[in-house]
Amino acid sequence: MKGTLGALAVVIGLTSMQVEASSTTSSCSATVQPGYALTKIQEKSSSCSGKNRYTFTKLAGETKLDTCTSVIPSGWVNSALKSYSGPGACGTSSTSPKQVWQISNTYGATALNSCLSHSLPTGWVVTRQRSYSGSGDCGPATNGKRYIYEVQSTAGQSQMSVCSMSKLPTGWSIGATSSSSNCGSTSGNQWKILNLALPGEAILYRYGNAKTGDKLYTTKRDDSAQAKQGYSYEAIAAKAPDKAVFGTTALHRYFNKSSSDSLYTIIRDDALQTKAGYTYAGVTANVYTAKVPKSTPLYRYWNPTNKHHLYLIEHYPSGVYGYKLQGNEGYVYKP
């Protein structure tokens, strides 16, 4: 098993089952609270003294959601536009059809379509614009043409070709200007942009405790200090971004004293982990939330017999050495 363990990557303890379930709340006010989206309008509600009652959906693990406004929540993109006549989820249309915006969650994504070229989430840029006449995903084209924009995440990129309507993220600069049909018909409508703040790579060292079977990951190698805790150096597990930048998130460590198991997760939820017997032990590293150039996915495995987690770059759909595959848990670089 030595060869397999040599491929152990940094561990993340998030599974799809742990993603917070969506929930709704209602109010007689149309004011949208942070973290929620307006998804339903009930007209002439008795509970609101005959006025409108508004339902808001908490933005949790959804990938797409229909909303009653074009306001883009943080981290989401307006990806489609639908309409209806008469009564519907967003109220009753009168002289003109009611618009319903579909928004897409950018978390874990690298490319999406957008109906708007402005107000994109931080770190997203326009890489292509397409036009259509008549009906389309972004609503009917009324006066001439309507545009759909292909947008991409800049996470982990060193350089990109983008349309000049893009808002450059912090740390990026324009390296060259040219013209491209991908970005319309105006001169100099395409930029070559360069990432001047690309993170370096932090080495993740793996230590193992032969007595308990636990695996410990750290970006600081100190064999003597770890030996005092019962851990011996084993290998370089992976490489990860050496600083927090767009597209990364903190990797948190929890420890279960009863089973001597270390759990690493990108979601810090002390209450949830406490119920499972884990205590928070700090931030271990930074990891990417989506696949970026030269990155590799991390797979989490669980052994119900010894109550330990195992994290490998290799993908074993049927499990390995008594460990069952639980899912893909993020992206790092190969050692």
pLDDT digits (tens, 9 = 90+) for 111-165: 999 999 988 999 999 999 999 999 999 998 877 889 999 999 999 999 999 999 9
| Res. 58: pLDDT tops 60 | yes
Are 189 and 229 in the same domain? no
Are 33 and 128 in the same domain? yes
Name the DSSP letter for residue 4: H
The tally of domains found in the chain comes to 2
Confidence of residue 22 (pLDDT cuts 50, 70, 90): low
Are 110 and 171 in the same domain? yes
Q: Indicate the pTM of the whole model.
A: 0.81
pLDDT given for residue 1 in this prediction? 38
For 295-310, what is the mean pLDDT?
85
For 36-45, what is the mean pLDDT?
94
Are 96 and 228 in the same domain? no
For 63-80, what is the mean pLDDT?
92
Euclidean distance between CA atoms 310 and 181, whole angstroms? 48
Task: Say if CB 145 and CB 138 are below 8 A apart.
Answer: no
Last residue of a domain, one of 176, 195, 214: 195
DSSP 169-237: PTTEEEEEEE--GGG-SSTT-EEEEEETT---EEEEEEEE-TTT--EEEESS--HHHHHTTT-EEEEEE
Percent of the chain clearing pLDDT 90 (strictly above): 68
Are 326 and 211 in the same domain? yes
pLDDT digits (tens, 9 = 90+) for 248-280: 998 899 999 999 999 888 889 999 999 999 999
Tally of CB atoms within 10 A around 205: 20
| Res. 179: pLDDT tops 80 | yes
Structural domain boundaries enclosing 249: 2-16+199-333
Are 10 and 90 in the same domain? no
Last residue of a domain, one of 144, 178, 195: 195
Are 218 and 273 in the same domain? yes
pLDDT given for residue 13 in this prediction? 36
Helix (H, G, I), strand (E, B), or coil: what is residue 65?
A: strand
Are 140 and 234 in the same domain? no
